[in-house]
């Protein structure tokens, strides 16, 4: 891995787009990241369910960190596309979001993320494509 767990924790803590969600780094491996999202009333929408934007932000942040595990904490890859399927509601409960890279390309990185309740219910499924905006370290494409 090109980024240590400590570096990824720092990146997550300093990322303005993650502020206010309470994301906590759960685990990391090469091309994988899990975030823990504790329940807080601030992430509820009217009706008492966790807002969809929170799931999308968690999936995006988890994939970003998964990408950085291989490209390093200074890489400037950004989200190019995300498709989200909302499969279940979370009511007054935290959840975990696991992202993993499926395909490393020279410019595009493709992966998936899933958010599950603390009880293991699948809440959302995301497909995410990242694009590398600057030249960084060369990757060996996987087949």
For the chain, the domain total comes to: 1
* pTM > 0.75: yes
The CATH number given to whatever domain includes residue 37 is: 3.10.129.10
Nearest to 67 by CA among 11, 123, 14: 11
- The pLDDT tens digits for 76-118 are 999 999 999 999 999 999 999 999 999 999 999 999 999 999 9
For residue range 53-78, what is the model confidence (pLDDT) as tens digits? 999 999 999 999 999 999 999 999 99
Q: Is residue 35 part of a domain?
A: yes
List the domain range (segments joined by +) for residue 88: 5-131
DSSP string, 74-137: T---EEEEEEEEE-----S--EEEEEEEEEE-SSEEEEEEEEEETT--EEEEEEEEEE--S--S
| Buried/exposed code over 69-83 (b: 16+ C-beta within 10 A; e: otherwise) | bbbeeebebeeeeee
């Amino acid at each position: 891995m090109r980024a240590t767990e400590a570096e990824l924790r720092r990146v997550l803590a300093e990322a303005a787009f993650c502020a206010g969600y309470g994301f906590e780094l759960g685990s990391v491996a090469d091309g994988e990241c899990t975030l823990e999202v504790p329940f807080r009333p601030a992430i509820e929408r009217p009706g008492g369910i966790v807002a969809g934007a929170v799931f999308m932000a968690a999936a995006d942040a988890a994939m970003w960190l998964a990408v950085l595990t291989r490209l390093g904490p200074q890489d400037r890859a950004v989200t190019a596309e995300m498709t989200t399927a909302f499969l279940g509601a979370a009511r007054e409960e935290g959840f975990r979001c696991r992202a993993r890279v499926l395909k490393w390309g020279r410019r595009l990185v493709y992966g998936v993320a899933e958010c599950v309740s603390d009880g293991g219910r699948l809440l959302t499924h995301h497909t995410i494509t990242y694009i590398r905006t600057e030249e960084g370290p060369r990757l060996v494409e996987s087949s």
